[in-house]
Structure 1
Amino acid sequence: MKTSIEHLPVELWISIFSYLEAHDLLQAFTNLNHYFNQLIASDYLLFHVRLGKTNHNPLEYAIHTYWSNSILNRIVSLQPIHQHKTSHIPEFLRWHCTKLNQLKFLKMKLRGREIPTICNILPQLHSLHHISIECVPNQMLLKTILCVDTIRICQLNFLPAVTSIIYESSQMSNIENLYIKYRDDSNNSILNFLLNHMPKLKKLEINSPESYFDSRDSPFAKPLFILLELRTIKIHWSLMYCDPKFFESLHQLMPNLQCFYLNIIYNYLTEDFFNNLVCHWWPTIEKIQQVDIFIKCRRPQITIDNNMQMNVDKFQSTLVAMNDKYNGIVKVIWMEKVFVGYRIIEISICKS
């Protein structure tokens, strides 16, 4: 009995095509035969599009003849071919945004001159659920992101801002998951602006390992907002100072927090740091259901005298004793090493 691939169930072909990028799919199967033309025309087939840079005129690239309305209104994902590189996505959106009725995921890297255009386009994408942007931020872009009420997941990769960010805005966002990475945010103006307008936030991830700052100026040190819905927070920071009220303020602002992940690089080891960790941070750690903390701190070996060494040993004993105190619910690991004249201490605290 002879069979052909056309005998496979339509549902299987739709599933197979969902793994292919739109250009590859259309080039491989368009006009292959009547059966595949019908499949490509099916409303059940949705397209994932990747755009890059070409040597052609970007307008010609954006309005290429195969971008028919029947294809445009079935695009659900749009992103660049190469991560962290600019593409023709802004031009594509400018020409076709009103036809992208099912676009749910959008990822792009923007130049400063493209931001006003994107700010006009985003409110027209009525199905947009997940947005990912890399750029130099400004007030206009942040306010526009907050105004798009369909966005639930927001990923922001920001270079240092060149204009000031003002906190005041009446717009409240429906964003539930926020991932933000930034190189520099003086006075945490960007983070404060976003968190102050995201009352429905459930998951927050902050990544700023390249910027050292004083935790007394962190967005959690001042009660500008209360995130009642927040359940999970992940922070990757570099600190110059350890504020004893950091954890206390954190839990006041996020009273229903269940999972807390913290990765800190502490630039200069002090005895106050360990005192804050044991005496001030620990009571709040006890209140959170799941905790995963990694702290790496250092100090020149020649500056550690006998008194300081005795205090460090005392804090080490206190922390390691938590393993027995909590009967395995809390696991503390303390590791030390000397590298190029520096004493490096790594502390891991896990609670589940």
Structure 2
Amino acid sequence: MEQTKRHRQQNSITSNNKKKKLSNNSSSITHLEDLPNEIFYEIFGYLDFHYVYKAFSNLNIRFQNLLNYSIHSIKLNISSMSKSTFQYYYTHIIIPNKHCIKSLHLSNPFIINLIFKPFSFSIISNFIQLETLILNNIEKIYLTNILKQLISLPKLHSLVINSVDIVRCNNKFYCQLFRLPTLKYCKFNIPEDDHYDELPFSINEYSSIKHLVIENNIHLKKLDALLSYVPQLHRLSIHQLNQSFDKETQIFSSVLKYLTHCSIGKISISFDEFELLSKNIFHHLQVLYILKNCDEEYVNANRWEQLILSHIPYLKIFDIKFNIRIDNHLTVENLMNQFNSSFWFERQWFFTYNFRLKMFNFPVTIYSTRPYRRKYYKLYGDRRKTTDLYEEDTNIDSVSHVEIENEKIIIDCVNYFPNTTKLTLWNDTINISEYSLSTTLNQILPLQQLTTLVILDCYDQFINIIELLSFAINIHTFIIKFTVLNKNNLIVYYQCENFQLVSNRNNIKRLDRFYYGYYQEIIVILVICIHCVLKIQRKLNLIE
């Protein structure tokens, strides 16, 4: 007993000494360069390596060594740049760090072609840590070669491919995608022309993909064959599902035992065909989103009730938005009354409708109104516009993410969002001149409750963001896209009272997606986030 007591006392003394030591050391850090290398690697991990290199590589010997001999994961987002610039970047960043690259985003066809050279010259096989690859604007003549080379990547689990061309037939590309051995997430847009070749069903070749996003249009028959390759699929998203070219009744052979989420942007198949599809692949479905349709049978409540009871018994979220043409108002009322049975009430699935034009044979939108699906709310500059959530029926209390397009809509907004934790602001919102940004925003949402702030297209209005951060003191995730600061204003930022306040007491733990920044701009961000840097430092016990 006495020994245990002494042991606890010793632990308490040791713990207090450590805390005291950390406190003394952390208070002694007065310059950014006083931080140890591990902290800079932690910071760099949240930034795109291209801009880190551009800002710090020529600063001094220490930073040159940090960047040239990195042992930490690197994220690269290479958009448009000149050929000469990329050649330098390729030689001094990509080649020396190829074994550390974890995420790679390429959009320039020239760059893609340079990295994915023929096998004997390609370096992609050396990217042994690569987990996420995004390829945009790929020319069709290079698709086959690129997909062949990806097989050699041992850790690739997320792939996004967007073809800039329309291919004659995309079947061979589908088959190549499904041969990638470690892939879990796949999103592709490989549009094909009107020529139709059937995709063969899989016999003994299966993919590890669990989340599939199909952004090109796909025919029902090809979808059935495609799904035979992905038996482990959990989530499926389809941009547009079309009828097959032949008019034969579709017999579905694919069975998906793990599919729980399905989203279809636009359906051009009959409800009879949709029922056949549902009977085979939707048995375990829990979430179903269908956004557009012009077939009146899709708003037949009795058919939906029978289909769900018989073949989609585990469905929890049923979110629809159908555009149909109705002859008169009475027809709409009759359709909507079908959704008032106990079946719909028990599940708390409710629906309403919206007239586009008040005339005979007018288009009507019928959509779900359940509040638990309305987590996102966008305020547009033009009040005549509406969101996909139909803001007039959105349950405000359920909204956790608000996006604001410009300052006028904030001033005109009559709603208050009490449970908002994420805020996205566009540049026109940040440029408020007549009113204080924080004061205006606080009238529609609680700033102190925010945990995530996203800034889109910030052009030299960072002083307003600093003011906002001084009120939104619980922000822990700070995301900035496209920040351009006037160098002449940097001294103003440093000297303003809010800047000093924010840099001392903010709770930012994550800085993400920072593009187009130069050295001075990055320093502004890092100084604001210095508080979180010291927290990381204490946590890792790195101060000596």
Q: TM-score, normalised by structure 2?
A: 0.54
2:200 paired residue among 158, 167, 173:
167
3-state SS of paired residue (2:91): coil
Q: Secondary structure at the match of 1:339?
A: coil
Q: Is the 8 A contact 2:254 2:280 kept in 1?
A: no
Label 1:62 to 1:340 Cα distance change in 2 as closer, same or farther (>3 A).
farther
Give the CA deviation at 1:158: 2.8
Match of residue 148 from structure 1: 180
Q: Considering only aligned residues, what root-mean-square deviation do their CA atoms show, in Å?
A: 3.5
The reply on whether 1:117 has 2:145 as its aligned counterpart is: yes
Q: SS state of the match for residue 296, structure 1?
A: strand
Within a 5 Å distance, the mapping from 1:40-51 to structure 2 comes to 40-51=67-78
Counterpart in the other structure of 1:330: 348
How far, CA to CA, are the matches of 2:196 and 2:70 in structure 1? 45
Code of the residue aligned with 2:132 in structure 1: it is F
2:209 aligns to what SS in structure 1? coil
CA 1:113–1:163 in 2, change beyond 3 Å: closer, same or farther? farther
- 5+ residue gaps, structure 2, are 1-27, 373-544
Partner of 2:253: 224
* Separation in structure 2 between the aligned mates of residue 92 and residue 273 of structure 1, nearest angstrom: 50
Q: Deviations over 1:226-262 (max 9, x none)?
A: 111222222222336322x634641432432222222
| Count, aligned residues | 332
CA change 1:27–1:316 in 2 (3 A) is closer
| Number of the residue aligned with 1:241 | 270
Find the residue that maps to 1:73 and give its secondary structure.
coil
Question: In the TM superposition, what whole-angstrom CA distance separates every residue of 1:103-126 from its partner, at most 9, and x where no partner exists?
Answer: 111111311111122132111222
Q: CA deviation at 1:225?
A: 0.9
Q: Per-residue deviation at 1:293?
A: 2.0
Whole-Å separation in 2 of the counterparts to 1:212 and 1:225: 18
Change (3 A) 1:7 1:115: same
8 Å Cα contact 1:128-1:150 kept in structure 2:
yes
The residue identity in structure 2 corresponding to 1:232 is H
Determine the structure 1 residue equivalent to 2:213.
179
Change over 3 Å in CA distance of 1:175–1:113 after alignment to 2: same
Please say which of residues 171-180 and 157-166 is displaced more in the overlay. 157-166
Corresponding residue of 1:344: 364
1:147 Cα deviation after fit: 0.9
Q: Name the structure 2 match of 1:318.
A: 338
2:350 partner SS? strand
Moved more, 36-45 or 71-80: 36-45
From the superposition, tell whether residues 331 and 268 of structure 1 become closer, same or farther in structure 2 (CA, over 3 Å).
Answer: closer
Match for 1:115: what amino acid?
L
> Counterpart of 2:113?
90
- Contact persistence 1:259–1:289 (CA under 8 A): yes
Contact 2:76/2:101 (<8 A) preserved? yes
- Of residues 126, 139, 155, the one that matches 1:127 is 155
How is 1:186-201 mapped onto 2 (pairs within 5 angstroms)? 186-189=219-222, 191-201=223-233
The answer to whether residue 91 in structure 2 is matched with residue 73 in structure 1 is no
Task: Name the amino acid aligned to 2:357.
Answer: F
- 1:146, CA displacement in angstroms? 0.8
Corresponding letter in the other structure for 2:210: E
Specify the code of the residue in structure 2 equivalent to 1:164: D
Seen in structure 2, the aligned counterparts of structure 1 residues 139 and 336 have a Cα distance that, compared at 3 Å, is closer
Higher helix share: 2
Change (3 A) 1:279 1:227: closer
- Aligned residue for 1:204, secondary structure, equals strand
Gaps of 5+ in 1: none
> Which one-letter code corresponds to 1:159 in the other structure?
P
**1:259-314 per-position Cα deviation (integer Å, ceiling 9, x unaligned):** 22222x222436x852654553342587124223213232253xx5x9xx46x544
CA displacement 1:121-159 (0-9 Å, x = unmatched): 111222211000112462332111111111110001232
SS across alignment from 2:232: coil
* Partner AA of 2:367 in structure 1: I
* Counterparts of 2:227 and 2:58, CA distance in 1: 50
| Cα gap change, 1:124 to 1:333, in 2 (>3 Å) | same
Indicate the larger mover: 29-38 or 169-178.
Answer: 29-38
Match of 2:55 in 1: 28
Aligned residues with identical type, % of pairs:
18
Query: In 2, are the aligned partners of 1:176 and 1:200 still within 8 Å (CA)?
Result: yes
Residues 300/332 of structure 1: CA separation in 2 closer, same or farther (3 Å cut): closer
Corresponding residue for residue 18 of structure 1: 45
Judge conservation of contact 2:201–2:228 (CA < 8 Å) in 1: no
Provide the C-alpha distance between the structure 1 equivalents of 2:149 and 2:99, rounded to a whole number of angstroms.
16
Q: Which residue of 2 aligns with 1:256?
A: 284
Counterpart residue identity of residue 88, structure 1: I
Q: Does the Cα contact within 8 Å between 1:247 and 1:284 map onto a contact in 2?
A: no
Partner Cα distance (1:131, 1:46) in 2? 18
| 1:176–1:203 CA contact under 8 A, matched in 2 | yes
Alpha-carbon distance in structure 1 between the residues aligned to 2:284 and 2:344: 27
Q: Aligned equivalents of 2:110 and 2:287: distance in 1?
A: 37
Calculate the TM-score normalised by the size of structure 1.
0.79
Structure 2 residue 104 is matched with structure 1 residue 101: no
